[in-house]
Amino acid sequence: MSSALECHNARKVFYVKRERKNGSILSRLFARLIPKYKMVEAVDRLTFHVEPGEIFGILGPNGSGKSTLIRLISTLLLPDEGCITVFGHDVVKERFQVRKLINRVSVDAAFFKGLSAMENLSYTARLYDLDKGAWQDTAADILERLGLKTDKLHEPLEDLSRGMQQKIAVARALLTRPLLLLLDEPTTGLDPVSKKEVQDFVLEERALRGTTVVLTTHDMQEADRLCDRIAIIDYGRFVAMDTPGGLKSQVSPNGEDVTLEEVFFALTGKRLKDNGKPENGDVR
């Protein structure tokens, strides 16, 4: 069987406007000689593959290129160079075929906030032309497994908690039975109970259906718990890729107990702040 996901020299560049600071007349004159925009390598010639049924983690702080890579895989952005395929389909030349095979959950899921959970799921079902009877049973099963109370399913989403909304986003993504599920920081901002419920569900879905998952996160414990392999990304490049145990052994060859955060610091020279933002870095 071919790989679920293959990236070959994938590259994405953004041009970001430089900040202009007030200063002396001389400094302002020199500033005019500097280009107005600077080039940012959001994804810098990445090559990797993901096997069917694998949970592949991309670990890094905000600004490292994780979300840009997910958008490239999901056909929301076009790569400037290189090739990305999902189950053999090119994300540029065969983007409509790719979209039938994938679904995505982002950190800020977009909903019709005035509609209920079931109304939002109904919209998704109609968009994907799902059988009416089948999708309702599927949705009920997913929501029950995620621990959502049935009395909340008909309330406007704007009245529900962040954790409940994110669970509904997961349910919406899985309603179409994707072969490749893209999770872009799906548990950021959730309380510990909701976070564990979403993580448990991801593991259960992989076990039941063999779903391939690509997970981006800056939560080291989440990556350690869920992922078969982890790539550590920094400024658009993978600085290491291995199993969680393999990454730990790279920085602790004597078998000393280390955390993934210690691995990340050893490989990048950075630590993550409590809010998940890098202490030095740009936004991507």
* Count of domains observed in the chain: 1
Query: Which pLDDT does position 128 carry in this prediction?
Result: 87
Is residue 100 within 8 A of residue 136, CB to CB? The reply is no
Domain membership flag for residue 273: no
Domain membership flag for residue 257: yes
* Residue 121 to residue 112: CA distance in whole angstroms: 10
* Residues contacting 211, CB < 8 A, separation 6+: 53, 174, 178, 179, 180, 181, 205
Query: Which pLDDT does position 203 carry in this prediction?
Result: 94
Span 173-211, pLDDT tens digits: 989 899 999 999 988 878 888 889 889 989 999 999 999
Domain membership flag for residue 211: yes
Query: Which pLDDT does position 21 carry in this prediction?
Result: 64
From the list 53, 42, 59, 45, the residue with the least C-alpha distance to 5 is 53
Span 133-167, pLDDT tens digits: 788 888 888 888 888 877 788 888 889 888 888 88
Domain membership flag for residue 217: yes
Amino acid in position 107:
V
Helix (H) or strand (E) holding 261: helix 260-268
Domain membership flag for residue 187: yes
pTM comes to: 0.85
Query: Which pLDDT does position 109 carry in this prediction?
Result: 74
Domain membership flag for residue 77: yes
Query: Which pLDDT does position 274 carry in this prediction?
Result: 41
- Cα atoms found within 13 Å of the Cα of residue 153, Cβ hemisphere only: 19
* Residue 121 to residue 138: CA distance in whole angstroms: 11
Query: Which pLDDT does position 46 carry in this prediction?
Result: 96
Q: Rounded to a whole number, what is the distance in angstroms from the first to the last CA of the chain?
A: 34
Query: Which pLDDT does position 277 carry in this prediction?
Result: 41
Amino acid in position 86:
V
DSSP, res 52? T
Domain membership flag for residue 282: no
Give the tokens for residue 38: 């600077």
Query: Which pLDDT does position 279 carry in this prediction?
Result: 37
**CATH code assigned at 117:** 3.40.50.300
DSSP secondary structure string for all residues of 157-174: GGGS-HHHHHHHHHHHHH
Domain membership flag for residue 275: no
* Residue 268 to residue 280: CA distance in whole angstroms: 11
Task: Identify the segments of the chain with pLDDT beneath 50.
Answer: 274-284
* Residues contacting 66, CB < 8 A, separation 6+: 58, 60, 184, 185, 216, 233, 284
Domain encompassing residue 45: 5-268
